[in-house]
Amino acid sequence: MIKETKPYIFRRIGATIIDYGLTITFFVYYLRFFGEYSVTDDGYGYSTSGFKGLPIILFWILNHVLIEYLMNATLGHWIFNLKVIDESGDKTKFKQNLKRHLVDFFEIFLYGIPAIISINNSEYHQRIGDKWAKTIVISTKGRKTSFKKLTEEEIN
């Protein structure tokens, strides 16, 4: 079990802005080039349906879940020197990364307020998705400590 963590609120917000900035940019450009323009009583815009909408979901899985599973960090986390680990300190499993990001929609839709409250009030500074997935966000920044086993000659 991890002994000590910090909230890293601003770094986590920055990472989220980068990660979802990429996702939204892809979404907008994809709809613009592959979507159908329509005018309805509710307004106008581009939309897709059926298999045409699949690349948007696949990009989200790739950008948020798969990359985090493979690298322990999304691009945003990497830029801000953060990584995601299992509560036991091990590498996360794909299912854990999927779970933690399924909650993103709820947390981001409410301006990140549920995430910030959860991070500031939980023992290991976990947002709701982290608690559900049993993951922790830690910093990769800082000194690496290495220990050398001393021989008897070095001790004397």
1-32 pLDDT, tens digit each: 556 789 999 999 999 999 999 999 999 999 99
pTM of the predicted model, to two decimals?
0.84
Q: Which segment, 3-7, 88-92, 138-142, is predicted with the most confidence on average?
A: 88-92
Considering the chain, what is the average pLDDT of its residues? 89
Q: Which of 11, 34, 52 is nearest to 137 (CA)?
A: 11
Structure tokens at 154: 């070095």
What secondary structure letter does DSSP report for 91?
A: P
Per-residue model confidence (pLDDT) at position 149? 43
Model confidence at 41, pLDDT cuts 50, 70, 90, reads confident
- Evaluate whether 137 touches 117 at the Cβ level (below 8 Å): no
Q: Which of 52, 67, 49, 57 is nearest to 105 (CA)?
A: 57
Q: Which of 85, 89, 72, 78 is nearest to 141 (CA)?
A: 78
